[in-house]
Amino acid sequence: MKKGLIKNLIFISAVIVYIVFCFIQCPITKAVTMDGETAIGSMWSLLPPIIAIGLALMTKEVYSSLFVGIISGAAIYAISSATGFEGFMSVVVQDGLISNIADSYNVGILIFLVVLGCIVVLMNKAGGSKAYGEWAAKHIKTRTGATLSTFFLGVLIFVDDYFNCLTVGSVMRPVTDKHKVSRAKLAYIIDATAAPVCIIAPISSWAAAVSGTVEGVNGIQLFISTIPYNLYALLTLIMVVFIAVTHTDFGPMKTHENNAAKGDLFTTKNTVYEEDAKPINSKGKVIDLILPVIILISLCIIGMLYTGGLFKGENIVDAFANCDASYGLSLGSIGSLIVIILYYLARRVLKFTDCMNSIPAGFKQMVPAILILVFAWTLKSMTTKLGASEFVRLIVENATAIQLLLPLLLFIVALGLSFATGTSWGTFGILIPIVTGVFQSQLTNAAENGIPSMVIICISACLAGAVCGDHCSPISDTTIMASTGAQCDHVNHVSTQLPYAMTVAGVSALGYLLSGFVQNVFVVLGCSIALMIVTLLVIKALSGKGKPATAEEAAEVLIKKEETSEVKKPSSAKTAKSKSKSKK
C-alpha cells in the first residue's frame, strides 16, 4: 500500500511541476500573451494525455482516465481560446466524440473489429477453436513452444497491425491457455509482433503510410533503406525470442507469469470478456478454424489491394502503397463473414439461427475495445486541437544544428509524441517532413548520388521512436487491439509491457547515439544487438536469484498433474460403480 501511495505522490508532483512549467512558458489565463503567443501550440498541448496515461496506471481503470484526459484538454482549449462553456462542450462532443465516430476511416476500423468478433464467436461455437486447442496441445508440448508459435504467427501476419493483433489472439489463446501462459504475456507477444513487424515489412499498410510522407524520392525505396536502422523493431523481436527461450521475466510480468503457472491467467481477476461463445457442436474439427482464418487473411489482403488499384493496372507494391487499410479490411472482413457462415452451414456444424445469434454476441465481445478506441481517438483529436504537432515541430527545428545528436533527439521526441498522442502514423507524419526539410539540399541530388546515410538514419529514428511510443501508450490503437486479441485487461497489458518496451528503448537510444558518429549500418546494428543480448543476460541473472524453480517448470508440473488426473478420472468412476454393485 505504501509503495502505491509513493508512486501516486510522485506522479501528482510531476504533473504539478509540469503545469508550473506550462505557466512559465505561456500563461493559460490569457488567450494571447504580451509576446503574441497562445497556450495552443505550447507545453499545455501535452498535458491531457499525460494526465490520462498517469491516471490509467495509477487507478488501473482506463475508461474514466481517458475521459478525464479529454475533459482536461477541453478545459485548456476553452480557457486559452476564450470560448467559455460553449467552446468546452463543443470540443468534447462535436469536435471530439461525434467527429471521431463519424470519421470514415475510424468507422471502417470499428466495422472490421466487430466483424472479426463475430467470426471469432462463430469459430468458437462451431468447435473449431476447441479442436485446434486439442490438436495444438498434442503437438506443442511446452510453454516455450506455445510462446514461439505465437511469435512466428505474428511475424507471418505482417500486412496490418490491427489484423495481426486480433487474428493472432483468436488463434493462439487456446494454446497459450493450455500451457499456462498469462494473458498479459500473450498480449505482449501479440503487440511486439504487430507494429514492430509491420514497420519493417515492405508490403504492409505501414510501408504505404511511411512512403506517403516523403516527397522528392522513391518512398518505398527509402522505407526499405530504413529497415536495418530500425533498431527498436529489430531489437524487440530479438527480445521476444530470448524471453521465450530462456523463460526470463521481470517487473509486473513476472508476477503474472508466476500466477499463471499456478492456474491464474489474469492475476487481477479482471477478465473483461465474458465467455458467451462456448462450443455447441462437439464434432468441430481443426479445419473449422484454419480454413476461416485463411479465408479472412486472403480476402482482407485482396480487399486492401483492391482499394489500392490492383485491378485497375497497379502492381502489388504500388497497390499496397496506395491502399485504404480501413476500407480494405472492412471489405475483406465482411466478405469473409459471409463465406464463413456459408461454410459452416454447408458443413452442418451450425444452424442458421446459431450463425445469426453469433453476430450480436461478437459485437458484445468488442464493446470494451470500441469504447476505449473512441475515447482514445477523442483524446488524440484534443491534442491536435491544442497544437501538439506544432509544439514538437518547433522543438525539433530548433535542435537541428546538433546534427550528430539528431538521430537520438528524433528518437526521443518521436517516442514522447507517440506515447502522448497514441499515434505512430501521426508522429512520423509530423517528423519525417521536418527531417526531409532539413536535408532538402542533399535529397535534391539523391537520384544521382543515392540517399545520404544521415537522412536514412534520422528517418529510421523517427519510425523507431514512433513505434516505441505506440507500443507503450495506453491510448494507442495497436495496444488496445493487442489487449482485445489476448482478451486481457488493458491496464494489465500496459503495466506489464512497459518495462520490456523501455528496456529495448534504452538500448535503441544508445544505438542512435552511436549512429550519429558512426554512420555504418553493420557497426550500429551489430553493437546494438550485442548490447541488447548483454542487457537481457544481466536481467536474467538478476531476476533468477533466489528462485528455485521457474514459472516454466511450475507450469509443466501443473499441466502433467492435470493430464494425470484426467486419465485417472474414468478409472475412479468405474471403481465407484463396481463398489456400488457389490454393495447391492
Stated length of the chain: 584
Answer yes or no: is 549 within a domain: no
Mean pLDDT of the region 36-60: 76
Separation between Cα atoms, residue 540 and residue 504, nearest integer Å: 15
| Most confidently predicted of 68-82, 245-259, 539-553 | 245-259
**Final residue in a domain of this structure, among 373, 397, 430:** 373
The letter for the amino acid at 449 is N
**The three three-digit cell numbers of residue 171, written as one number:** 488463434
- Name the DSSP class of 311: G
Kindly state the percentage of the chain with pLDDT values over 70. 80
Q: Of the candidates 373, 399, 426, which is a domain's last residue?
A: 373
Cα–Cα–Cα angle for 315, 316, 322, rounded to 5 degrees:
90
Show the domain range for 133.
Answer: 104-204+274-373
Residue 317 lies in a domain: yes
Residue finishing a domain among 102, 136, 152: 102
Alpha helix ranges (H) inside 247-307: 252-261, 287-307
Q: How far is CA 153 from the centre of its chain?
A: 15
Q: Are residues 2 and 74 in the same domain?
A: yes
In a domain, 96, yes or no: yes
pLDDT tens per residue across span 141-159: 888 999 998 998 888 877 6
Q: How many domains does the chain have?
A: 2
In a domain, 256, yes or no: no
In a domain, 32, yes or no: yes
The amino acid occupying position 53 is I
Both 166 and 281 in a single domain?
yes
- Do 176 and 309 lie in one domain? The reply is yes
pLDDT score, position 573: 43
60, 114: one domain: no
Which cell is 183 given?
494473458
Average pLDDT of the residues in 540-554: 62
**Which of 408, 518, 402 minimizes the C-alpha distance to 468?**
408
Is 182 found in the same domain as 111?
yes
Q: From its phi and psi, is residue 216 left (phi > 0), alpha (psi between -120 and 50) or beta?
A: left
Tally: H helices and E strands in the chain: 29, 0
**130 vs 226, residue with greater confidence:** 226
Confirm whether 543 is domain-assigned: no
Cell of 318: 504500388
Q: Which of 68-72, 272-276, 479-483, 501-505 has the lowest mean pLDDT?
A: 272-276
Are 91 and 111 contained in the same domain?
Answer: no
One domain for residues 67 and 136: no
